[in-house]
Structure 1
Amino acid sequence: MLDYAKVIVTGSPISKSNFKLFNMHGRAILPYNSGKYHDRYAIYEQEIAFCARLQNPNIVLSQSLIAVLKVFYKSEKRHPDTNNITKSIFDGIEKSGLIVNDAQITRLIIEEFYDSKNPRFELELFGESRYNMKYEICTKKILDEPKEYGPPSNKKNSYLSKKSTFANTKEAAEDSKIHCSICNKVINAENSVTANNGKMRICKDCIKKLF
Structure 2
Amino acid sequence: MTRVGVVTFPGSLDDGDALRAVRVAGGEAVSLWHDDPALHGVEAVILPGGFSYGDYLRCGAIARFAPVMDSIVKAAGDGMPVLGICNGFQILCEAHLLPGGLTRNQHLHFRNRDQWLRIESVGTAWTGSYEAGQNILVPVKSGEGCFVADEQTLDLLESTGRVVARYVPGPGLSEEGYNPNGSLRDIAGISNEAGNVVGLMPHPEHATEALTGPSVDGLGFFTHVLGHLGRVSA
Task: Tell me whether the two structures share a fold, i.e. TM-score over 0.5.
Answer: no
Q: TM-score, normalised by structure 2?
A: 0.26
Q: TM-score, normalised by structure 1?
A: 0.27
